[in-house]
Structures are given as C-alpha cells and as structure tokens.
Amino acid sequence: MATTTITKTEKLVGKRIRRREDPRLITGTATYVDDIKMPGMLYAAILRSPHAAAKIRSIDISKAKALKGVHAVFVGEDTKNAGAVPCGASLPGLRVPHHNVLAIDRVYLVGHPVAVVVATDRYIARDGVELIEVDYEVENAVADPEKALAPGAHAVHPQWPDNVAFTFHQEGGDVTKAFAEADVIVKQRIVSQRLIPNSMETRGVVADWHAADRTMNLYTSTQAPHLVRSLVAQILGLEENRFRVVAPEVGGGFGAKIQTYAEEILLAWISMKLQKPVKWIESRRENFLCTIHGRGHVDFYEIAAKRDGTITGIKLKIIQDLGAYFTVLTPAIPTLSVLMMPGLYRTPSISADIVGAFTNCTPTDAYRGAGRPEATHGIERMVDMVAAELKMDPAEIRLKNFVRNEEFPFPTATGLVYDSGDYSAPLKKAMEMAGYDKLRKEQVEARKQGRYMGIGLCAYGEICAFGPSPATPAGGWESATVKIEPSGQVTVLTGISPHGQGEETTFAQIVGDELGVGIDDVLVVHGDTSMVPYGIGTFGSRSTAVGGTALYFALQDLKATIKKFGEMLLESDDVTFAGGQCTCNKSGKSIGVKGIAAAAYRAMKLPPNTGPGLVATHFWEPPNFTFPFGAHLVVTEVNGETGDVSIKRYIAIDDCGNILNPLIVDGQVHGGVAQGIGQALWEQAVYDDNGQLVTGEFMDYTMPRAHMMPWIESGHTITPTPVNPLGVKGVGEAGTIGASPAVVNSVVDALSPLGVRHLDMPLTPEKLWKLISAGRNA
Amino acid sequence: MIPQQFEYSAPKTLDEALGLLAEGARPLAGGMSLIPMMKLRLSNPEHLVDLGRIKDLSYIREQGTVIHIGATTTHHDVESSPLLRGKCPLLAETASHIGDVQVRNMGTIGGSVAHADPAADYPAALQALEAKIVLKGAKSERTVSAADFFVDTFTTALESGEIVREVIVPVDGSGTGTSYQKVLQPASGFAIVGIAVRVRKQGDKVAMARIGVTGLSNRAFRATAAEKALEGRSGSPAEIQAVAALVGQGVDANSDLHASADYRLHLASVYAAKALAVALGRIA
Ligand SMILES: Cc1cc2nc3c(=O)[nH]c(=O)nc-3n(C[C@H](O)[C@H](O)[C@H](O)COP(=O)(O)OP(=O)(O)OC[C@H]3O[C@@H](n4cnc5c(N)ncnc54)[C@H](O)[C@@H]3O)c2cc1C
C-alpha cells in the first residue's frame, strides 16, 4: 500500500478526552423538560391514591373545578379511551393487567393516579388536587411477593386470585443427573431487595398538540424517544409521522426511563383535549412511588458440585416481585437473570423456574443491570458457599470453573453464545493488585486479634449490547446518519438516546478517526425523533456497541462516496482516503474533506453513479449480544462493636472490550460501583403490610453519597468482541453488577469465623451487630 | 412539592416581627426544616415572618463568663467562630456535624432549637452546656434552661408569639474537655444517637461531668445518673465503660427502620464511651 504524504490527525479513539457535553451541564445552561416554557402553557398535577388497595366509591371534583385558574379536571372515566400503559414483554400465558392512565373503579398501589388537575400554574394545579374528594373503600393489601403467593392472600387483581402473573421454565443439559451424581449440593435462599432508582432529574413531560396540522410535540425525560413515539401515537390513534418526541437533556435514567409511562399518554391526551401545551413535572415523592423500582427477587438456589470443585448443575427458582401492573419490560427482567445464571462458569446443566407475583407495589422493571445483578449476586454467592463447603479458596474454585479461552464462542446451558473472553485474566489481575496472598495472611492475624476482616471476590459476566432483534421486544438494531455539511463539518444523527453516558464525545472520537477531522468539527445529535433516524434507545449497555457500530458502518459508506469524489477531483483512479485527505498515489496531489464537501454540494460535476451531497445512513443489526466480564475484589472490616462495615480496598478490573475513552469508562465504572455498593450496604425499598412505602423519600432511603464511597482502584483487561468491528462490549452496568456480590462476599468472609455463611442485603450495621453479639455470646 | 399560598414579610426590626408573630404569623429562619415541610404540605402557615433581615439577631458575643449567640446565627458561623472554638468548643464541634455545607450555611441555631427535632444535634450540646435560651414575645422576655426548654418531640417551652431570641452558653475555662460523637442516620444524616460530653477535672478526679444525649428518645436530655457515676472518679477506661452503660438506663428508646430501640441503646453506650474518652483526653 502506498504511503500518504499528508500527516494524519492525531488518533482520538483510546484517548482520555473530556466529555463535550459537560460544559453545558456544569454551567447550568442545559435544557431539561422543566426548562421548556411555551406561550399559554398549562400545568398538570396528579391526585394519587394514598391507599395500596381500595375501591373508588365516588370522586367529587366540583370544588377543584371551581378553583380560579383551574382549566380542567379529569378522572378515570374521562380517560377510558386514552388507552392503557403498554407492556412490551410477552411470555406464554402472561396475565397483563389493564392499567388505565387514571384509575377507574379501584386503585391497587399507593401512588396510583386517580385524577388530574390542569391549571394556569403549578401552584393552582396542586391546590386543585387537594380539593378533590375521593371516597375509598379500603381493602387489605399485599406488599410482599412470598406472602402474595401464599394461599388466601389478598388478590391484587380480583380476576387472578393466586396473584401469579406467569410462570416460566427453562432447562439445559441434564440437571437431574448432575444433582444425582453430585458430591456436594449447596442450597440457599437469596434476596435481591427492591431498589428505587433515583436520577437527579425526575420524570417530566410537556405535550404540545397542534390540531390544524394534527401534529404532536411531546417533550419527555426518556431513554427511548422513538419507542415512546410509536407507543403513544398508537395508543392515542395518532399518526406516527406527525408525532414528534423530544428527549431534551435527560438527567439520568438508569433504566427507569425506558418505559412509556401513564403521564406521557395522559399529557398528550390532555393537550389534545384542551388544545394547549401542558406540562407535568414529577416531584421527588412521586418519583419514589410512581417511577419503576428495580430488583425485587427472592431466589432459591441449589448448586451441584464435584469434590474437586467442578460445578455441574444449578437449580434456581425465582420469585419476582412484579408490583401491581406492568411497564414496558416488567415480566421480561427475571428472564435475563435466568439467561445469565451460569455466570462465567462452564456449568453444563441448569434448570430455572420463575414465578411472577403481583403485589400492591410499584412495578419493577429494568434498573441498571436489569436481571444480571440478581443473577450475578446469586451465582457469586453460591460459588463462595460451595468453596466454603469444600474448604477451597474462593479464587481457586472460580479459576477452576471458568469457561476456557479456547472454548469461545461458548454455548451456555441457557442457550446463549458467549462471544469472547479470558475470564481468569481480570481475577488474576485483581488478586495481584490486591496482594491476595498477603491479604489472606493479614486476615489470619486480624482474626487472632478478634477483628473481622473480609476479602470478597466477584467474577461477573454480563449480557450487553441488546441485542439481536429476535431476542428483544422492540427490535435490537440501531441506526446512524452521518452528514458532511457543505462547510466540511460533520453532523451525526444517532438513534440512541444518551443521558449521561457521553456518546456525544465517544461518537465524535469515532468520526474523528474515520474521517480524519477534528473532534470539534463533529456534532452528535440525538433524542429528537424529527431529526434522527428511528432508533431503539439507550439502555442495556448497548449504545456504543450497537449504535456506535451503526455509525461505524455509515462512516464506511460515506468514506466510499468521499473516495469517489476524490478520484473525480484528483482525476485518478488510484486514490487513498486517510487522515482526512484523498491523495492520489501517483501524483501525490491531495484534497481534504472540506474541499470534497464543497465540491459534492456545489455539484458542478459528479462521479459516475453518484448524486450530490455527502450523507450516509446505516441501520445495523447485531449478530449476537456482547458479554463483558471482570472481577472485583473488596477488602472490608466490620466493626465488632457497632456492626459498621468499612471498605478498606475496592479493586475493579473490568473487561469491556476495546476502550474508546478511558475517562468515560472510569466514570461508568465508578458510578456503577457506587450503585452496587448502595445495594449491598444501604438501599432498600421498604413497604409496610398495608403497602405504604416507608422509604418514600431521601430522609429514609439511603442513597450512596460521595463521602460514603471508598477509593476505587480500577484496571482493565481488554478482550475485543468479534460481534462488532469496534470490538467494544459495553460498560454502563458492569460496576453495578460486580459490586454487590463482591461486597457481600467480603462481609460474609469477615464474619465467617462466627459461622456466618450467607447474608441478605442491605448489610445494615444493626443486622451485623446482632450476628456478632449473638456469635460472641454463643 | 409545591407549598400552599402564603404571605411573606421580612421586617427589619425585632419589634415589627414580634408584632406580626403576635397576630399569628410563623417565623422563618434558615428554612431548612420549615420549607421542606411546607413543600410536602405537612405544614401550611398562612403568613411567614422572615427573621433573616432583622438587624442584630445574628451575633456571637462574649460577656463575662458566658457567650450570647443570636437566633439567626448560622450553623456555619457557629462552627467557624474563633471565639466559640476557643471558649466553647463543644458547640462549634456540634455545629460542624449538622447536615452538609449548604444546610450549615442556611440553617440557624434559633431555628434548630425551636424546631426541636428529637434527632437534631444542637440539643445534645445545649443540654451538656446547661445553656440558657432567651425567649422573647411582643411584651415579654424570659430565660429558660435547656433542660426545661426541650419538652417533647417537636415541642418546646416556646409559647405562641414568642421567638427564640438567643442562646447563652458558658465560657469553658481551662481544665475542661468536651466532645460530640454522633452516629449518622445514613439516609438523612441526622443523629441516630449523638452524645455531647463536657468534663472538668480537679487534680486527677472528675469534678464535673455533663452528658447530653440526642436521637435516643423523644427529646434531648441529660444523662444525670451517668454524670453522677463519673464525678469523683479518675475516668479510667473501666470507669468510662461503666458510666457509658448508664446513659440509656431507663430511657424509652426510639425504634425505627434505621435502628431498633435495643441497637440505639447499645450505640448510645458505645458512643458515650467514645465521647467520654475523647473529652477526658482533651482536658488541657
Ligand atoms: C438536608 C438536611 C440535613 C439536615 N441535617 C441535620 C443534622 O444532621 N442535624 C441537625 O441537627 N439538623 C439537620 N438539619 C436541620 C437543620 O439544622 C435546620 O437548619 C434546623 O433544624 C432549622 O433551622 P432553620 O434556621 O433552618 O429553621 P427554619 O426551618 O426556618 O424553621 C424551623 C422551625 O423553627 C421555627 N423558628 C425558626 N426560627 C425561630 C426562632 N428564632 N424562634 C422561634 N421559632 C423559630 C420556624 O417557625 C419553624 O417552625 C438538616 C436539614 C436538611 C435540609
């Protein structure tokens, strides 16, 4: 190949480049939904049920309607034709409750929307809500999934008295044989408690209907604007091409903004009804009650192993707390746990059962990790228990069972094909960084002094880059359009919808390298369905692996066109495009992207079979998921007097394939680890027996804060995926998935001299103090 | 989270404010407790009188053997006051444990004591300091001891129309050691228990011990049995343990999601031991 004479722009991919979205966030100039103001805009406030289960005898809205400034009050009867909140998941025999946007004759969770007041400002709207009188006939509620499944429990939906929404069974290999031939069988009930996602920005919607041309503009804080468009347009019987959804700046989602919510449908409906723009902003209290929750598993594990530590089979029964109704993915989430139940281990035989239980609680759905943290927590706890049973080191049993490097692509007993991996590498690296052998010696010393020091390991695997379309509820592909403008600047339109992940930066890095332009010449546009091609959205650590790949292929198409123009302009058929220049390999003459763009739009002359302009669009369907992996190692000490856990060291080695921007990867890992530690130590949604959410605000729901975080020592191994040409796997959820089992394993290890074998999260000081004092007195 | 409509006055003089309060208005200081309650509509005052613009209500002044602290003095001012740090370090230390920087920049000592949250920090220190609280109404002024001021959960000796005008704490001479030790409720940052200790030695014997406790029960209190048990002793580690165990004796301890009564009582004794040891160690 001929060498180019033009100096290539510095390579951007792989660099620690600061996020280009940050200046507007840091200076407070970003536009969130609540920053949107329109002439004549009205404000909606929603009356919500204070009861977890009740019949609505009557609703009196007369006083609210009479309040000065109130434009309208609507109740369930009014919105009967507005449709129901959509569920996108399908499972055989699934019972899907019809969840109207406002309750009609009964409520089945605290926070259930009952009426909406629309007024000239948000204060009057809120005052109006207080003037509505609802006569409820309060019923018993059930707020615990195991209690919901017990005979005689209150039926969340009267038509399904057993509270069972679905059952699901999957098996692979020969689990009966595995258990019959096992040397050891270890059983444990493991809870992954209900968590409450909390983004900095709560949800919010502005709906703006224009009757004359039948167009709807819906601004909403969402992770999946196209999905919202398709669903709400369909539900309201509107034309999809005239329905525009904009996700403006979105202040975090964590999975809780993938769904299409009642308020999105309701606000659009109100705007049509009143012919005015209408805004609703969720309060924090509403966010706790009315945006989805995560996790909510009770798992029953059985694991079969040989005396040498070889794991031969896993049986798992999941009771999934679904809540009272379904949002878009509710019933599908536990099936992801089943898919990932073997973890990184070769485990040839599995059997899994899920029972989905209705409770009078907020629906559960995808929350950072969505099904994989539960699965990882389960298998990683179980593996530790098997090791303890066999008196093996927890590292040894993991190394023994990992899928081996030469076995990739590796078909799992759950029907997946793991793409690529070197599973022992991150574990070995973490152990080396930690000085594992030395730590174990320190632990012996600590124990002699009566201190509770623990070393916890977690080797996690996850399923990312959702995904091949047949395996996803709404298509799993992604799209990108790249335009080189006449000036030579580059605009990327992407179907993903970032809200904190930094793709405005990473995608610009990809473009910069492929087209040889500077990062500041690239603009990445997302989140507006009237501007970007149809896309699936940002969730499941898919944006770069799927959306970035779509972009990569669009760039290849564009480069081919650029080359054609280069050949025409340089009057040669021996032209190379590199470093932003088309160069004639014979004459050495060259022309840059800028000149080519000008010529392509001026169009005085065109290459054969080529139209004017420089635009390419690509829709990319991934052939497989990607499977990132890694190992976290955590050293803890439990204070024997108070039960407080202190994390002495936190080592995170993550393998997310190729790294486009190490700064962003660090950020994703840190945030993820914070959330995982949050689950391990502090966070929990607590309902009382009446279905009242006890942890309904930040005064009682313990969000991790900066001062509660340990220093995170992070590192990487790099195993590119063959699934996409970028070799990237995804890193958005890794930290969360790795953290909770690593922390819990560490604390269990710390307390193992007291005979502790398992602990359910969160590991509150009181829980540990009780164990320690009981152990001491024993 | 939107409050009901209310009237707002920001008088420049105390008399004006007291006049409005006599008519039933509600004082607003830092707003760090009141505004959240109004947002949730748990509290719906019709008229707020902002004490923030009143001249000469925010001060820290030494006068003889005591220090006067004006009602609108912020937690930050208390925490960072060289006078208090030197001469009443227990109060400054306690202030530094309240909430976060933003809360300490806005919240006031008058507001905190008037609010009387059973998990607030100041009340423990004020009990240990045997502080005096000056209450002023339109026509009256009276001084009550901290012991009499904190009556019950969110309930004080304040009568309607009265405000907390100032808090008076003693100057601690040499020979005194103090410490505030707090167990944070992990979500709110308030005290699960907070123990304020103030001890003085004469020779090698503890001549005076004051132990203020917050978070443990319906109101902040002084652990007098423990105080008595320490006085006249040297303060050895074994004595500290024994004394600390008395702090929760006979107390009807709070129980909630974050700590059962048993655990709270246990923490009270662990943290009392810590506070006692630190305070004794700080005696110059
Ligand atoms: C996030 C957060 C964390 C916090 N953490 C802590 C903590 O760790 N420890 C702690 O102790 N506190 C904590 N607080 C409470 C904080 O200390 C408040 O500042 C304090 O409780 C009230 O003081 P304020 O000046 O803000 O009073 P406001 O909120 O303005 O008023 C509180 C009440 O006192 C009345 N009032 C105010 N001033 C007077 C006066 N001079 N005379 C009579 N009545 C008056 C008001 O009418 C109202 O009823 C926290 C608050 C927040 C928001």
Q: What domains does chain B contain, in order, with CATH numbers?
A: 7-50 (3.30.43.10), 55-170 (3.30.465.10), 178-281 (3.30.390.50)
What is the reported pLDDT for B284?
76
Note whether A312 and A382 are same-domain residues. yes
Nearest C-alpha neighbor of A536 from the set A144, A225, A766, A284: A225
As a whole number, mean pLDDT of residues A339-363 equals: 98
Q: What is the pLDDT of residues B160-201, one digit of tens each?
A: 999 999 999 999 988 999 999 999 999 999 999 999 999 999
Establish if A157 belongs to a structural domain: no
- The rounded Cα A46 to chain-centroid distance in angstroms is 27
Q: What is the pLDDT of residues A574-584, one digit of tens each?
A: 999 999 999 99
Note whether A311 and A441 are same-domain residues. yes
Q: What is the pLDDT of residues A631-654, one digit of tens each?
A: 999 999 999 999 999 999 999 999
Q: What is the rounded distance in angstroms from the CA atom of residue A227 to the CA atom of residue A232?
A: 8
B123 lines ligand 1 (CB under 6 A): no
Q: What is the pLDDT of residues A469-526, one digit of tens each?
A: 999 888 999 999 999 999 999 999 999 999 999 999 999 999 999 999 999 999 999 9
Q: What is the rounded distance in angstroms from the CA atom of residue A62 to the CA atom of residue A74?
A: 11
In this structure, the strands spanning A42-48 and A278-281 are parallel
Note whether A511 and A528 are same-domain residues. yes
B103 lines ligand 1 (CB under 6 A): yes
| CB contact set of B127 (below 8 Å; sequence gap of 6+) | B146, B147, B150, B196, B210, B212, B213, B220, B221, B222
As a whole number, mean pLDDT of residues A445-463 equals: 97
Establish if A159 belongs to a structural domain: no
Structure tokens belonging to residue A721: 């995926």
Note whether A504 and A591 are same-domain residues. yes
Does residue A243 register a pLDDT over 60? Answer: yes
Note whether A628 and A559 are same-domain residues. no
Cβ neighbours of B2 in A, within 8 Å: 45, 122-123, 126, 283
Cβ neighbours of A770 in B, within 8 Å: 263
Nearest C-alpha neighbor of B120 from the set B210, B31, B220, B27: B220
Q: Residue A709 sits in a domain of what CATH number?
A: 3.30.365.10
Please give, rounded to a whole number of angstroms, the shortest distance from the CA of A290 to a CA of chain B: 15
Q: How confident is the model at residue A698 (pLDDT cuts 50, 70, 90)?
A: very high
Among candidate residues A556, A586, A620, the one where a domain is terminated: A620
Q: CA of B129: how far to CAs of A551, B168, B176, in Å? A: 68, 9, 11
Q: Does residue A682 belong to the interface with chain B, where contact is any CB pair within 8 Å?
A: yes
Name residue, tokens 């700046």: A249
CB-CB under 8 Å, B2 with A641: no
Q: Does residue A60 belong to the interface with chain B, where contact is any CB pair within 8 Å?
A: no
Q: What is the rounded distance in angstroms from the CA atom of residue B150 to the CA atom of residue B118?
A: 9
DSSP A660-707: S-HHHHHHHHHHHHHHHHHHHHT----B-TTS-BSS-STTTS----GG
Q: By a Cβ cutoff of 8 Å, what residues of chain B touch chain A?
A: 1-5, 40-41, 183, 186-188, 257-260, 263, 266-267, 270
Note whether A329 and A362 are same-domain residues. yes
Please give, rounded to a whole number of angstroms, the shortest distance from the CA of A284 to a CA of chain B: 8
> What is the helix (H) or strand (E) element at residue A437, kind and residue range?
helix A436-448
Please give, rounded to a whole number of angstroms, the shortest distance from the CA of A28 to a CA of chain B: 18
Q: In what order do the strands lie in the sheet with B221-222?
A: B176-184, B191-202, B205-214, B221-222
B161 lines ligand 1 (CB under 6 A): no
Indicate the average pLDDT of chain A. 96
Does residue A467 register a pLDDT over 90? Answer: no
Does residue A8 register a pLDDT over 80? Answer: no
Q: What is the pLDDT of residues A14-54, one digit of tens each?
A: 999 999 999 999 999 999 999 999 999 999 999 999 999 99
Task: Give the domain extent around A315.
Answer: 297-467+624-777
Q: What is the pLDDT of residues B19-28, one digit of tens each?
A: 999 999 999 9
Q: Which residue of B has its CA nearest to A700?
A: B187
Q: Is the pTM of this model over 0.90?
A: yes
| CB contact set of A505 (below 8 Å; sequence gap of 6+) | A17, A18, A19, A20, A21, A519, A661, A664
What is the reported pLDDT for A13?
97
Give backbone dihedrals phi and psi of A358, rounded to 5 degrees, phi first: -75, 140
Residues in chain A, how many?
A: 778
Cβ neighbours of B267 in A, within 8 Å: 642
Note whether A714 and A751 are same-domain residues. yes
Establish if A193 belongs to a structural domain: no
Q: What is the rounded distance in angstroms from the CA atom of residue A48 to the CA atom of residue A291?
A: 13
Q: Hey, of A122, A193, A769, which one would you mutate to test binding to chain B, going by the most B CBs within 10 A of its CB?
A: A769
B214 lines ligand 1 (CB under 6 A): no
Q: In what order do the strands lie in the sheet with A311-323?
A: A164-172, A349-358, A311-323, A297-305, A184-192
Structurally, chain A folds into a number of domains equal to 3
Q: What is the rounded distance in angstroms from the CA atom of residue A317 to the CA atom of residue A151?
A: 19
Note whether A426 and A510 are same-domain residues. no
E-strand spans in A76-176?
106-107, 113-119, 133-138, 164-172
B217 lines ligand 1 (CB under 6 A): no
What is the reported pLDDT for A347?
97
What is the reported pLDDT for A7?
37
CA-CA-CA-CA torsion for B7, B10, B16, B17, nearest 10 degrees?
70
Among candidate residues A238, A265, A290, the one where a domain is terminated: A290
| CB contact set of A606 (below 8 Å; sequence gap of 6+) | A568, A612
Q: Residue A37 sits in a domain of what CATH number?
A: 3.90.1170.50
B45 lines ligand 1 (CB under 6 A): no
Establish if A232 belongs to a structural domain: yes
Specify the range with the lowest mean pLDDT, choosing from A194-198, A440-444, A463-467, B258-262.
A463-467
Closest atom of ligand 1 to B164 CA is: 42
Q: What is the pLDDT of residues A523-540, one digit of tens each?
A: 999 999 999 999 999 999
Structure tokens belonging to residue A655: 């393998």
Q: Which residue of B has its CA nearest to A127?
A: B4
Q: What is the pLDDT of residues A380-437, one digit of tens each?
A: 999 999 999 999 999 999 999 999 999 999 999 999 999 999 999 999 999 999 999 9
Note whether A715 and A677 are same-domain residues. yes
Establish if A13 belongs to a structural domain: no
B107 lines ligand 1 (CB under 6 A): yes
Q: What is the pLDDT of residues B51-63, one digit of tens each?
A: 999 989 999 999 9
What is the reported pLDDT for A778?
66
Give backbone dihedrals phi and psi of A142, rounded to 5 degrees, phi first: -135, 125
Q: What is the rounded distance in angstroms from the CA atom of residue B228 to the CA atom of residue A697?
A: 41
CB-CB under 8 Å, B183 with A700: no
Establish if A59 belongs to a structural domain: yes
Establish if A716 belongs to a structural domain: yes
Note whether A650 and A732 are same-domain residues. yes
Note whether A591 and A689 are same-domain residues. no
What is the reported pLDDT for B136?
97
> What is the helix (H) or strand (E) element at residue A64, kind and residue range?
helix A62-66
What is the reported pLDDT for A473?
86
As a whole number, mean pLDDT of residues A754-771 equals: 97
As a whole number, mean pLDDT of residues A544-570 equals: 98
Q: What is the pLDDT of residues A262-314, one digit of tens each?
A: 999 999 999 999 999 999 999 999 999 999 999 999 999 999 999 999 999 99
Note whether A698 and A635 are same-domain residues. yes
**Region for residue A741 given its phi and psi (left: phi exceeds 0; alpha: psi -120 to 50; beta: otherwise):** alpha
Cβ neighbours of A285 in B, within 8 Å: 1, 40
Q: Does residue A767 belong to the interface with chain B, where contact is any CB pair within 8 Å?
A: no
| CB contact set of A521 (below 8 Å; sequence gap of 6+) | A488, A489, A490, A512
Among candidate residues A242, A271, A290, the one where a domain is terminated: A290
| CB contact set of A623 (below 8 Å; sequence gap of 6+) | A468, A723
Q: Hey, of B183, B257, B265, which one would you mutate to test binding to chain A, going by the most A CBs within 10 A of its CB?
A: B257
Indicate the average pLDDT of chain B. 96
Q: Which residue of A has its CA nearest to B266?
A: A642
Does residue A777 register a pLDDT over 80? Answer: no
What is the reported pLDDT for A1?
34
Identify the three-state secondary structure at position A298. strand
Does residue A4 register a pLDDT over 80? Answer: no
DSSP B166-227: EEEEE---TTEEEEEEEEEPTTT-SEEEEEEEEEEEETTEEEEEEEEEESSSSS-EE-HHHH
Q: What is the pLDDT of residues A67-125, one digit of tens each?
A: 999 999 999 999 998 989 999 999 999 999 999 999 999 999 999 999 999 999 999 99
Q: In what order do the strands lie in the sheet with A278-281?
A: A70-75, A113-119, A42-48, A278-281, A204-210, A215-220, A243-246
B74 lines ligand 1 (CB under 6 A): no
Establish if A272 belongs to a structural domain: yes
Q: What is the rounded distance in angstroms from the CA atom of residue A257 to the CA atom of residue A124?
A: 28
